[in-house]
Structure 1
């Protein structure tokens, strides 16, 4: 679904360089924090990170006949993680401290770091001067639920701590294939921003939108509502 892709990309770009993890914002790397067979936590990351991915979605209200372009309630997960090994050493004192906050890598320091990152995530996504965050906000009509979770582990020998922010949004529907995109819409802003950033996914996403498909109005209407030919005729929709 295009809306899920757009939501994820906008969140990632809005967060890059705006938190203590810098540009280490990962796209859908769910295994950044993983659970081993012995139930201990593990990570393949060498630096503090944020991982962004989209979980499940559901549409519970009445669907327009067979229209499949709606997104419904969608869960966006933003996970931040750090281990006690992710430290920096003061060349003068030789003391190892948590990256970015300059205090010893104790359990309270790791929690403080993640709480700071959580605050920075909220600030970045709410920043009116952040163009990607503006697009992120425009891709949903409202936030329906916010969950904050934490987990930690030292069983593997290296202390690991992680926080999860799960945002349930009423995500906008996908554009109907071939339908014109309004120049004032969130979708127009999203594609313009991707073009400005020379984003590698842009060409493929424009293909999925049907930018050059130019279907008839009848085809667009039938796609929008999932109409059969019989239903379209019953509604006096003229055939091309």
Structure 2
């Protein structure tokens, strides 16, 4: 329903890549990155530590008339997971390390996940991070930040721990269909920056197509607020003589009218 929701999530994913301890292993809405098996054990099939970004529940309370473009408060979920299977053996010491200098222990798991949570906040508030700047422009304010953790030990001895950071933000409204984008607005900036990405061109094209429409100001206003034609007429939003939509021009008589009294 929301193009802003999609764009903000993509911006968050791109903003985190290469900016945390998981490197580029930042996933967009990858369902199953963390899962629960038939025995109730938490599991992950990912070969190394990861962050997965989701958009979850949203609620727009202060809606104007019948507007469908309001996004309201939206939950962004940042899930980080690490398992004993992600550890590597130090060739010199033989020790099992989560990453250099950090041993494969339960305390190290918690250290890693707490560190990731901090790195997420640092990356998304970095003034030098262009993708983070776009994400911030999509959000009017951060309403709430919640953190939770879970862990599991499978029967085969594999240990896994995960943290979730839930950030509730006030998202800006979607641009109405047919309304020109502001060159300095977040959606225009997103489309310009997204042109650098590979593998997302199809999705970006579909998002652009959704915004194409009749570029008439009064129609855009009706779409933005969900106004009925009778209401628009009463509010003097619609043109009095359909000047913008236009009656079809059948013929044009370019001959000047005869001046009374004949030629001078």
TM-score, length-scaled by structure 2: 0.85
In the TM superposition, what whole-angstrom CA distance separates every residue of 1:161-212 from its partner, at most 9, and x where no partner exists?
00000000000111111101111111221111112335423212111122xx
Quick one: distance in 2 between partners of 1:209 and 1:44? 38
Q: How does 1:1-240 map to 2 (within 5 A)?
A: 1-61=2-62, 63-99=63-99, 101-156=100-155, 157-198=157-198, 199-200=200-201, 201-210=203-212, 213-236=213-236, 237-238=238-239, 239=242, 240=245
Unaligned runs of 5+ in 2: 246-264
CA distance in 1, matches of 2:50, 2:79: 8
Partner SS state of residue 113, structure 1 = helix
- Match of 1:146, SS? strand
Q: What TM-score, normalized by structure 1, do the two folds share?
A: 0.93
Q: State the Cα deviation string for residues 67-88 of structure 1 (Å, max 9, x = none).
A: 1000000000000000011012
Rounded to whole Å, the distance in 2 between the matches of 1:38 and 1:175 is 46
Partner of 1:73, secondary structure, is strand
For 2:3 and 2:215, how far apart are their aligned partners in 1?
A: 19
Higher Cα Rg, which structure: 2
SS of 1:135's equivalent in the other structure is: helix
Q: Deviations over 1:105-138 (max 9, x none)?
A: 1100111111111111111111110000011111
Higher relative CO (Cα under 8 Å, sequence separation at least 6) belongs to 1
RMSD: 1.4
Farther off after superposition, 195-204 or 161-170: 195-204
8 Å contact from structure 2 (residues 180, 215) kept in 1: no
- Looking at structure 2, the residues matched to 206 and 124 of structure 1 have their Cα atoms a distance apart, in angstroms, of 27
Pairs aligned (count)? 236
Q: Aligned partners of 2:211, 2:158: CA distance in 1, in Å?
A: 46
